[in-house]
Amino acid sequence: MRHLMSPLDFSTKELDDLFDLATDIKNNPEKYAHACDGKIMATCFYEPSTRTRLSFESAMTRLGGNVIGFSDANSSSAAKGESVSDTIRVISCYADICAMRHPKEGAPMVAATKSLIPVINAGDGGHQHPTQTLTDLMTIRSMKGSLSGFTIGLCGDLKFGRTVHSLINALVRYENIHFIFISPEELKVPDYITEMLDEKNISYEEVISLDEAMPKLDLLYMTRVQKERFFNEEDYIRLKGFYILTKEKLEFAKPDMLILHPLPRVNEISVEVDNDERAAYFEQAQYGVYVRMALILTLLKWAK
């Protein structure tokens, strides 16, 4: 039995197989409509979510399975003091696979050590968000035809954005990737990430100006400033409008640059950009369903 805690839990070969399966699911959904008949997924969300929880629930439903779970820690026995370890032992009696989101870094990992069923990390604090990364990689591979040879700009809250940390970790395994980290000083990518890039000899630059970076980018990954991770409301208010992607800013971008965003968006991409051909964030959300369908099938197969 295997769990998914980090995108690095899958080899690049296993990721390729996963994306091939997700592509087949996209093209032939009827083939998979009963693939999980009789199976149950538990979605245990101790932190708010729209995309991750509902795309998992949509994925399991489209595979013919059923879903149980909670979307708020206060409606679970966590509110009475139950530990994650005890909760997952009990969920193991009710479901065949579990997706867990938790505000504490490492909580899904703790659950995995006690679980009798595969556990998927659906986001743990500011740490990792592996299924968003699978979604991002699947979107890039499908829309750009490859995962190698790109200059990738990551813009916004690179300090607290777990999707950013997971995506960088995953992309370093592909060839000829150059990162441009675009953030204010206070929201720079953590040192452990730049140290890892230095060790692996991966090229990157850290800049403040989105305008200067824009013409070089093959992909622009925008992120929201993570209000829920700030200790100080004033800092959040000061930084939340630092980058706003507008039509005017895109005049300097390559004509085939892909604009990605894990969503939710607050104000960092102007809605007028949604009509730009390069805006791919809603397609990205759609790819999230196919890749989660493929993940559920793969982890259940390995658990047999």
Catalytically active residues, by annotation: 51-52, 80, 101, 129
Query: Which residue, 150 or 221, has its beta carbon nearer to ligand CP?
Result: 221
Contact 88, 59 (CB under 8 A): no
Sole window of 13-21, 64-72, 92-100, 260-268 interacting with ligand CP (rule: CB under 6 A): 260-268
The one-letter amino acid code at 295 reads: L
Sole window of 20-28, 64-72, 153-161, 259-267 interacting with ligand CP (rule: CB under 6 A): 259-267
Among 36, 120, 253, 263, indicate the residue that binds ligand CP (CB under 6 A). Answer: 263
Q: Report if residue 165 touches ligand CP, rule: CB under 6 A.
A: no
Q: Report if residue 264 touches ligand CP, rule: CB under 6 A.
A: yes
DSSP, collapsed to helix, strand or coil, labels residue 25 as: helix
Strand partners, 260: 221
DSSP, collapsed to helix, strand or coil, labels residue 180 as: strand
Q: How far is the CB of 5 from ligand CP (least distance, A)?
A: 16
Q: How far is the CB of 6 from ligand CP (least distance, A)?
A: 15
Could you give the C-alpha distances from 63 to 30, 60, 161, 186, 251, in angstroms and in order?
9, 5, 31, 43, 42
Within residues 8-67, the interface with ligand CP by CB under 6 A covers: 49-52
The one-letter amino acid code at 103 reads: P
Q: Report if residue 115 touches ligand CP, rule: CB under 6 A.
A: no
Q: Report if residue 132 touches ligand CP, rule: CB under 6 A.
A: yes
How many angstroms separate the CA atoms of 283 and 139, rounded? 8
What would the x/- binding string for ligand CP be over residues 70 to 109, using CB under 6 A? ----------------------------------------
The tally of CA atoms less than 13 A away on the side-chain side of residue 304 is 8
How many angstroms separate the CA atoms of 21 and 6, rounded? 20
Q: How far is the CB of 285 from ligand CP (least distance, A)?
A: 8
Q: What is the 3-state secondary structure (H, E, C) of 42-108?
A: EEEECCCCCHHHHHHHHHHHHCCCEEEEECCHHHCHHHHCCCHHHHHHHHHHHCCEEEEEECCCCHH
Q: How far is the CB of 239 from ligand CP (least distance, A)?
A: 19
Q: How many residues in the shown chain lie near ligand CP by CB under 6 A?
A: 10
Sole window of 66-74, 84-92, 188-196, 256-264 interacting with ligand CP (rule: CB under 6 A): 256-264
Q: Report if residue 284 touches ligand CP, rule: CB under 6 A.
A: no
The residues binding ligand CP (CB under 6 A) are: 49-52, 123, 129, 132, 262-264
